[in-house]
Amino acid sequence: MLRSVSARIAAVTLVAAGGVIVIFTLFFVAERNLRSANNATTRAADVSSVGLTLRASVTQLDSAFRAALRERNGTTLADWHRAAAAWHQPGERLAVIVQRPGDVQHVHEIETLINQYVDDYGNPVLGIAQFSPSTAKSADVSEEGRLRIAQITKRIDSITGAAARSAALRSRHADGFANRVTEAGLAALIITPLLLLFGGVWLMRAVARPLGAVVSAASSVAAGDFEVHLDEDDRRDEFGALARAFNRMTSALKTNREELVTRAQRLEESERRKSELISIVSHEVRTPLASILGFARLLLERDLTQDEQRAYLRIIDDEATRLASLVSDFLDIRLLEDRRFPLRAIELDIRPIVVDQAERMLARHPEHTLVTAVGAEPVLVVGDEQRLTQVVINLLSNAEKFSPSDGRIRVGVSRTAAGVRVFVEDEGPGIPPEHADEVFEPFFRGDAAAAGIAGAGIGLALCRRIIEAHGGRIGFENLRPGARFWFELPAEGLVPEDDRLPDAAHV
């Protein structure tokens, strides 16, 4: 099978050219053959005519001999001599126009026989008749003359007859051949267009059908459908190459579109989170603000006991602190993107930070139960106290927000082979597996909004940034029920600022 379209076109063109060549060759050969048969017939007619002339000359010679024998005088003898010379011309002519070498030989033999008749018979007998007319006119002598003439005429007839037969045969052959060639030419005339027709259909199938498929696929792509796929496996021709190129194009288009869609979705998501953030910020700020303003108003307007005043001021102080930490969280959003994350590293005991913040949380939310596991020995790390406190507050705040109201919150500090580990466990719903990769992303809130849980989605992102800046790791595990968030700080992480040489950076 021809693989490529070009090869098919070449094949069809060759068939057409071959057909035309065969037709012309056949007609040319037939014409040549007929013409040569005609020439042969013409020559055979010439041979017959010259043969007859020669035969007539021989008969004339015989008659002239008989007349000269019967009546010897000057006239009859002159006639004899004329006749004895007259046969030369047709004889020589015949030797020229016969074609076969055998016939030329025969003509020469005839000439010899005629010469012999004249020299060995005619002239001697006429000489004898001068002296003994009876001898010359004897039966034997006249019989010999009759035989010699008969032999000559028979030879001439044989040549003319053979020429006529040969011409007739050639003519018959030429006719038959011409007929056959004409038939073959006619057959070629019929077969060639048929072959061209089939070739055309074959080409159409090779070109039109795949071309149609490409056109319809291209229309689909124009309409935005990049899923179209052209069959390319069983084709090794130009259309196979086209299909492969086409499929590469659609898959590239699809990838590009998917990329654009993903990018657009990401932008949309980021926009959505930003606008959500604005409303969350206002909510988060208003809640502590409500307590601060409300208690301040009560302190200003009502007569309160000293104990009441102290209690209210304590709440105002707590809520103002919370508000300040919230505001600094929002301001810290910028730190998430900032590569240079300044830390004030000192050596510190991590336990009091965890215990203090856990107790503060419990004071605000006494509906929870708190369990602490921090040990009796100091657990020293090198880090930024304010930032680590922020991490602990954020983890506790999450545990509180996601816990049921009588939930148990467990916090702990322990030493590990790598360094120090701090964990906070709650009895909340845990992290759905599909959100596992996103919980530490800025502004990610998961199902919190749907569950009515406040927050900006900043806390955990900040925690990760802070812990990573300390050279540590942060992560979580789902418990049943609840979740455990933890962070680890390396035993030999940061160098405390106090120990650093003033120009250590330049050494």
Binding site for another protein (CB under 8 A): 279, 282-283, 286-295, 297-298, 301, 308, 311-312, 315, 318-319, 363-367, 401-402, 404-405, 451-454
Residues 6+ apart with CB under 8 A from 244: 232
Please state, as a whole number, how many other Cβ atoms lie within 10 Å of the Cβ of residue 358.
Answer: 25
Task: Tell me whether residue 179 or residue 287 sits nearer to another protein (CB atom).
Answer: 287
- CB of residue 409 to another protein, shortest distance in Å: 14
Task: Tell me whether residue 77 or residue 315 sits nearer to another protein (CB atom).
Answer: 315
Please state, as a whole number, how many other Cβ atoms lie within 10 Å of the Cβ of residue 240.
Answer: 18
Identify the CA nearest to 313 among candidates 294, 297, 295. Answer: 295
Task: Tell me whether residue 318 or residue 468 sits nearer to another protein (CB atom).
Answer: 318
Task: Tell me whether residue 294 or residue 493 sits nearer to another protein (CB atom).
Answer: 294
- CB of residue 302 to another protein, shortest distance in Å: 8
- Residues 148 and 96: their CA atoms lie apart, in Å, by 24
- Residues 395 and 365: their CA atoms lie apart, in Å, by 15
Task: Tell me whether residue 134 or residue 405 sits nearer to another protein (CB atom).
Answer: 405
Identify the CA nearest to 125 among candidates 61, 82, 54, 58. Answer: 61
- CB of residue 306 to another protein, shortest distance in Å: 15
- CB of residue 293 to another protein, shortest distance in Å: 4
- How far apart, in Å, are the Cα atoms of 316 and each of 281, 284, 293? 20, 16, 8
- CB of residue 289 to another protein, shortest distance in Å: 5
Task: Tell me whether residue 229 or residue 283 sits nearer to another protein (CB atom).
Answer: 283
Please state, as a whole number, how many other Cβ atoms lie within 10 Å of the Cβ of residue 422.
Answer: 27
Helix (H, G, I), strand (E, B) or coil at 452: coil
- How far apart, in Å, are the Cα atoms of 506 and each of 11, 169, 342, 469, 501? 82, 123, 18, 21, 10
- Contact, 20 vs 192, CB < 8 A? yes
- CB of residue 361 to another protein, shortest distance in Å: 11
- CB of residue 484 to another protein, shortest distance in Å: 19
- Residues 281 and 75: their CA atoms lie apart, in Å, by 163
Note the helical H segments in 302-374: 306-331, 333-337, 350-364
Task: Tell me whether residue 270 or residue 279 sits nearer to another protein (CB atom).
Answer: 279
- CB of residue 457 to another protein, shortest distance in Å: 15
- CB of residue 294 to another protein, shortest distance in Å: 4
Task: Tell me whether residue 201 or residue 311 sits nearer to another protein (CB atom).
Answer: 311
- Between CA 465 and CA 489, with CA 369 as vertex, the angle to 5 degrees is 25
Q: How many residues does this entry show for the chain?
A: 507
Task: Tell me whether residue 45 or residue 289 sits nearer to another protein (CB atom).
Answer: 289
Name the DSSP letter for residue 496. Answer: P
